[in-house]
A and B are shown apart, each in its own frame.
Chain A
């Protein structure tokens, strides 16, 4: 272990950073697109069905295939991996946002409108806060997916902890495989934990005496 760290320590830090960079960017783009899209879709029921099935279809493409499919368009490196992972992150966030927004008590939306909230006020002050736990569940799910799949991104030259794993596989070096896998797992668990904390923070309080 110490031997491994001596040998690959600095490389490990760089690769972990690459991993975080790729997955965070993909996830961030995913949230940026999927959350507003999910909200808009609740206003267009018919379109929603098509968008949902298209995004489910994208999800069925094997991850390795999707990554390699990006090469003709974006070449190799970080960009195609980020795009591919972004596509993967879309569905859970989109679906949860859509379901979460749709599940908001219709009475509340009616009350918000009837009391004189504009559509935007209703969305931001009532619907999103109410849908937050479900939206966040989608974000957490996506985050874990994206982090673990971003190891495959090293296959198209994006770097990251996948480099250790693929090298280990090619060189029959279990230490390298384990040395790449463990940080990925830790990263995924840690992210999920931090997002869980964040979820609690953004979930609206409905009982007094509960501290944020």
Chain B
């Protein structure tokens, strides 16, 4: 989608209201075709204002907005709005019109022939996953979720490619909301519609968006993909908005192994004697040692069991060490590695850099701690020993 054409762009857009209060300021956002853009922020952040400027419900006081390459000021506002879908929170269905009349409201304004409108209505009611008999009903006879389904498909009736949605699911219960989220995700992914979605619900934004614009008091704070926002929150405001829990979860997904590894692994060089190996083990309270050559390149490991079986006074580490079963590069993601470690029962995995130099280990215990944090949060852990780890996570996220 990165090669997609831009469909809407904001260039230095500002809106000042009469009396001097600032709506939004210095907005520079580019929306590409096929994107699912979420504007998110607290109330009064200017997210709705920004969205409503696209179809000229609000005119900017400064700056330029383009739609399909043309300045929107050059469009007639009424005609512009008919080419852009619009969905609002409380569905905005006309109570005195049947569902069919509601769906074909824009086509009727565009003076489509009746047969074409009938066809469209039947096509869209199917898309909304509602029985065709509903076309003759009135909005009041449908449930809230069904009404909003109609509200959503109505925005497509005149084949609009761009759909604006202003907190469309704010008033719905969670289950209905999930259904509708799937419906609009389908519109974006399978019908290729571009969707601009205003919400204050971060879960919703992260679930749906391919592009998130975070706004606060009229400014764009961060404008990026959901992954990048989770990995690199621009500031504390974004972190607060995301919430600690999501950040932790995201870190589990985006932390690399080097962020949590211990950099002081129990190791021994090839030339050392087994006696020395045993001494090192007992000093470090471990039952294994990583084996490296003199340049600190990883060769393998030895464990107590092997030494026990094959011990002889003259043997050196190089005689009995095992080749490494598993190792990770330091930049591999935890999400890819943790499962392997946990499921396959390794107690530790050596971490190497790109030239196979040993730089650390990740132990099973440290992984388990991260998962605890992600699932139950920090508060649950009152053991001070375990709290050490989240600190290392925080350090890790600063580094990245």
Contacts and interface: CB of A to CB of B under 8 A. Distances in A.
A72 interface: no
Nearest to A204: B96
A208 B136 contact: yes
A167 B132 CA distance: 68
A114 B55 contact: yes
A115 B96 contact: no
Contacts of B154: 115
B86 A111 contact: yes
A115 B81 contact: yes
Interface in B81-123: 81-83, 86, 88-90, 92-96, 98, 105-106, 109
Given A107-B92, A129-B96, A206-B95, A118 B78 contact: yes
B357 interface: no
Contact of A107 (B81, B82, B88, B139): B88
B92 A111 contact: yes
Given A111-B92, A206-B138, 18 more contacts: A107-B88, A108-B94, A108-B95, A111-B86, A111-B88, A114-B164, A115-B82, A115-B86, A115-B106, A117-B109, A130-B95, A205-B96, A205-B138, A206-B140, A207-B140, A207-B141, A208-B98, A208-B137
Contacts of A126: 94
A156 to B, nearest CB: 44
A22 B96 CA distance: 36
17 contacts: A107-B88, A107-B89, A108-B92, A108-B94, A112-B94, A113-B57, A114-B81, A115-B109, A115-B154, A116-B79, A116-B82, A118-B78, A126-B94, A129-B96, A204-B95, A207-B141, A208-B141
Interface string B310-332: 00000000000000000000000
A138 to B, nearest CB: 19
Given A208-B137, A208-B138, A116 B109 contact: yes
B81 A116 contact: yes
Interface string B249-286: 00000000000000000000000000000000000000
Contacts of B141: 207-208
Interface size class of B (residues with CB under 8 A): 20 to 34
Interface residues of A, number: 22
Contact of B57 (A114, A118, A208): A114
Given A206-B140, A208-B141, A113 B81 contact: yes
Given A107-B88, A107-B90, A114-B88, A206 B82 contact: no
A129 B96 CA distance: 8
A53 interface: no
A207 B137 CA distance: 7
User: Which among B83, B88, B92, B139 has the highest number of chain A CB atoms within 10 Å?
Assistant: B92
A129 B141 CA distance: 19
Interface string A100-142: 0000010110111111111001000110011000000000000
A62 to B, nearest CB: 41
A206 B98 CA distance: 8
The list of the 5 closest CB pairs from A to B, nearest first, reads A111-B92, A204-B96, A116-B82, A114-B86, A116-B81
B105 A115 contact: yes
Interface in B32-63: 55, 57
Given A118-B78, A121-B109, A110 B88 contact: yes
A204 B83 CA distance: 28
A129 B138 CA distance: 15
Contacts of B86: 111, 114-115
A151 B174 CA distance: 63
A207 B136 CA distance: 10
Nearest to B139: A206
Contacts of A129: 96
Contacts of A116: 78-83, 106, 109
B107 to A, nearest CB: 11
A103 to B, nearest CB: 13
